[in-house]
Amino acid sequence: MTVKQISVFVENKAGKLAELTEYLHQHEIDMRALSIAETQDFGIVRVIVDDPYKTSCILKEAGYAVSITPVLAVEMPDEPGSLNHILKALGDEDISLEYMYAFLTRKAATAYMVLRVEDNEKAAEVLKRKGIHTVSHDVIAGM
């Protein structure tokens, strides 16, 4: 069960991120999670949206370099130790984490992590065995 993450390359200059978010706003794209990794010249904006196909199409039409990556989204209690439990489960099975970022929803006492790993299927199975719940893109889109 994976979630579709949109990665967008954005020039690392004042106002460029605002241009991207304005464009998403104009096309009524609802962001659920956002992460930015930057270098001196450009940034990679990683975003989970309600409609990844529409988002990818409109961004490509606007000239953005865009890719879609399957990632895992994990639901966890919003309490100390929850992230450690997830990371330990993956590490104990020798599953390397490429990157991650968190987001919250209106669901009380619950947090979510987006995880990028080499093998989503193996990671999802390990997490399931440890009682850690992954969520689908449809669940996130409906939040």
Secondary structure in 3-state letters for 44-92: EEEEEECCHHHHHHHHHHCCCEEEEEEEEEEEEECCCCHHHHHHHHHHH
- For position 129, what pLDDT does the model report? 94
The predicted structure's pLDDT at residue 140: 86
- ∠76-80-83 over CA atoms, to 5°? 45
pLDDT at residue 80 in the model? 93
**What confidence score (pLDDT) does residue 93 get?**
95
> What pTM does this model have?
0.86
Give pLDDT, residue 41: 84
pLDDT at residue 103, as a whole number = 84
pLDDT in tens, the chain (143 residues): 899 999 999 998 899 999 999 999 999 999 999 999 888 888 999 999 999 999 999 999 999 999 999 999 999 998 999 999 999 999 999 999 999 998 877 777 888 999 999 999 999 999 999 999 999 988 888 88
Note whether 4 and 137 are within 8 A (CB): yes
